[in-house]
Amino acid sequence: AEAPEPPPQAPLAVLSKVELRVSCKHLLDRDTLNKSDPCVLLLMQSQGQWMEVDRSEVIKSNLNPVFAKIFTVDYYFEEVQKLRFEVYDSHGHAGVGTHDDDFLGGMECTVGQVSPPPPLPGTPAGGVPSLTPRLLQIVAQKRVTKPLFLKYGKFAGKSTITVISEEISGNNGYVELAFRAKKLDDKDLFSKSDPFLEIYRIDDDRSEQLVYRTEVVKNNLSPIWEPFKVSLNSLCSCEEKRKLRCVVWDYDSRGKHDFIGEFFTTFEEMQKAMGENKVQWDCMNPKYKIKKRNYKNSGVVVLLDLKIHRVYSFLDYIMGGCQIHFTVAIDFTASNGDPRNSCSLHYINPYQPNEYLKALVAVGEICQDYDSDKKFSALGFGARIPPKYEVSHDFAINFNPDNDECEGIQGVVESYQSCLPKIQLYGPTNVAPIISKVARVAADEERTKEASQYFILLILTDGVVTDMADTREAIVRASYLPMSIIIVGVGNADFTDMQILDGDDGILRSPKGEPVLRDIVQFVPFREFKNASPTALAKCVLAEVPKQVVEYYSYKAFPPRCPQPKTPDSNLSSPQ
């Protein structure tokens, strides 16, 4: 007999996020007139394929670039995550080509594991194969410098790439800064300077990490740079007194930028610019200070505005008193089979719960921990119901039209079992009415302008929905409300068309083409979890919910209701 297929793995919990900073040295010079214009691509391996995740800015005419782009990757404790960095010579408006002629070299590594990877065949236990010196543990080593390789394992001359990693933990906020300068030194002969500003964080080992590089303002000695956002972690490692070095340069298209001046500050000092206040620094050139007797400065840099933004986690909202309201909707269409027949998906076996009950209990038991009154709305659709036996697509399975709530999961199970003999399974499979019904309640909640209640609708169905156009429209409307939808496909039907509703493979749109504001639907066929534990199904279908809750309240700019205690670890256990 064939071995049963292993159940699908529930999504792994993110251990943390890691910021990666990249620089290179001694890159190959591919251009005949100027130096190479490098750009670095970050690729991650997914199911054996390398997929581009992000790319840096292009640095003009520079063989020793320090990229301002900070790559952020999720770091999973239990998973070997392979990364590949590829450096290319960019060509102006044509962008970054991926031709061999433009390839300046690549390096592979892993994000990091707690234990070393298993040895490859023919490798001594615990040894590192001689052909793969680039499989590293970035997180463990913090700073990794390795040679760049061309195709077929050839060294790219003396080229090296350095990746510095930093775990983002503790404070989960970011800061928005707006700088300008006045009366900068003019470094150009026939025009004015083209200034840009760089901010460096000075670490404990006295090394400097580039935090941000502004755009270049052409031909202007009093530039106003665009406001920008950086995480507090990046800016100052969440330490207000950490020293920062800010440098103003005059841009040169050949990469030989002229130094205008610098100043030192701290995030603590920057915060004086909040509100109507401004903070300014003399931009100093140390050489001029020594040489020129009456030297005052090489201009002034002004911090026009500073805004601190707190990024809240799912746990922050829950601890602030946000309740998760759970509604279950059960498919009572005729395709389920007569409940009196043991082949029916609704057959009540006293010794073995059916798939509807298994899915309901697995998901409901986790949701009830986030709901203080432990009362769940339980609805049915697709059946003829008493007294007139007309088809209904949103009836209360306890047959109380004024209060569709049941006491806990057990109350839902009892209402489900007692309603089966009273109804006639019919059709079609219309779910838009139930989505709209829950959305109306969620809309009332939205008007409170508080993070007090979030709604999860669990739809259990044995087939593809009949009212697909109306369902798509209802989901797009619901994506603007405090609401998530989980659809579990029960039985052995072909659920291919249902995957459309789950926005993982693309953006779901209404029939008129309007996209969802955020991805709120998770679809899972129950058969993939038949041989798995109930917790595996629950973890899989609920994995997206914390992120969806945070996305919604962030979009609405609603903070948690209660002020959060300032504990450094408050977001470590949060499934963001």
Q: Tens-of-pLDDT digits for all 576 residues of the chain?
A: 444 444 444 444 444 678 899 999 999 987 777 788 999 999 988 777 899 989 999 999 999 999 999 998 876 644 567 889 999 998 765 555 556 568 999 998 777 522 223 333 333 333 332 222 232 345 556 788 999 999 888 999 999 999 988 777 555 688 999 999 999 999 877 889 999 999 999 998 898 999 999 999 999 999 999 999 998 888 988 888 999 999 999 999 888 899 999 999 999 999 988 777 789 999 999 999 888 888 999 999 999 999 988 878 787 788 788 888 999 999 999 999 999 999 999 999 988 999 999 989 888 887 877 777 889 999 999 999 999 999 999 999 999 989 999 999 999 999 999 999 999 999 999 999 999 999 999 999 889 889 999 999 999 999 889 999 999 999 999 999 999 999 999 999 888 888 788 765 578 899 999 999 999 999 889 888 878 877 788 878 888 888 899 899 988 988 888 644 443 333 323 333
| 195 φ, ψ (degrees, to nearest 5) | -80, 145
- Rg over CA atoms, the chain: 29
Give, rounded to a whole angstrom, the gap between the first and last alpha carbons of the chain.
42
The count of other CB atoms within 10 Å of the CB of residue 421 is 9
Q: In the prediction, which pLDDT does 169 show?
A: 58
Cα 458 to Cα 216, 409, 467: the distances in Å are 51, 13, 17
The token duo for 188 is 């150009």
Q: If you write DSSP's letter for every residue of 370-385 in order, what string do you get?
A: G-TT-EEEEEEESEEE
217: alpha, beta or left? (left if phi > 0; alpha if psi -120 to 50): beta
Q: In the prediction, which pLDDT does 563 show?
A: 46
The count of other CB atoms within 10 Å of the CB of residue 493 is 16
pTM of the prediction? Answer: 0.58
Measured CA to CA, the distance from residue 139 to residue 120 in angstroms comes to 22
Q: Is 85 helix (H, G, I), strand (E, B) or coil?
A: strand
Our CA angle for 202, 203, 207, nearest 5°, is: 75
Q: In the prediction, which pLDDT does 562 show?
A: 66
Q: Contact 296/288 with Cβ under 8 angstroms?
A: no
Q: Tokens 């609401």 appear where?
A: 483
Our CA angle for 307, 313, 315, nearest 5°, is: 140
Q: Is 432 helix (H, G, I), strand (E, B) or coil?
A: helix
The token duo for 534 is 């109930």
β-strands 483-489, 453-461 pairing: parallel
Q: In the prediction, which pLDDT does 495 show?
A: 87
> Angle between the 432-446 and 468-478 helix axes, to the nearest 10 degrees?
10
Return the DSSP state at 369: G
Measured CA to CA, the distance from residue 41 to residue 56 in angstroms comes to 7
Q: Is 418 helix (H, G, I), strand (E, B) or coil?
A: helix
Our CA angle for 217, 218, 220, nearest 5°, is: 85
The count of other CB atoms within 10 Å of the CB of residue 294 is 4
Write down all domains in the chain, each with its CATH number in brackets. Answer: 16-116+132-168 (2.60.40.150), 174-309 (2.60.40.150), 323-450+463-556 (3.40.50)
Our CA angle for 16, 20, 22, nearest 5°, is: 175
Cα 54 to Cα 44, 69, 86, 228, 444: the distances in Å are 10, 10, 11, 19, 40
Our CA angle for 361, 364, 367, nearest 5°, is: 155
Burial 252-281 (b: 16+ CB within 10 A, else e): eeebebeebbbbebebeebeebeeeeebbb
Measured CA to CA, the distance from residue 524 to residue 244 in angstroms comes to 49
Burial 43-62 (b: 16+ CB within 10 A, else e): bbeeeeebeeeebbebbbbb
Can you say how many angstroms the Cα of residue 102 is from the centroid of all Cα atoms in its chain? 31
Q: Contact 85/22 with Cβ under 8 angstroms?
A: yes
Q: In the prediction, which pLDDT does 101 show?
A: 62
Q: Contact 72/17 with Cβ under 8 angstroms?
A: yes
Residues sharing a CB contact under 8 Å with residue 543, sequence separation 6 or more, in sequence order: 10, 11, 522, 575
Burial 516-544 (b: 16+ CB within 10 A, else e): beebbbbbbbbeebeebeeebbbbbbbeb
Q: Contact 207/270 with Cβ under 8 angstroms?
A: no
Cα 17 to Cα 74, 297, 413: the distances in Å are 5, 41, 40
Q: In the prediction, which pLDDT does 119 show?
A: 34
Residue 416 parent element (H or E):
helix 408-419
Q: Contact 73/36 with Cβ under 8 angstroms?
A: no
The count of other CB atoms within 10 Å of the CB of residue 397 is 27
Q: Which residue, among 232, 316, 233, has the nearest Cα to 572 in the 3D structure? A: 316
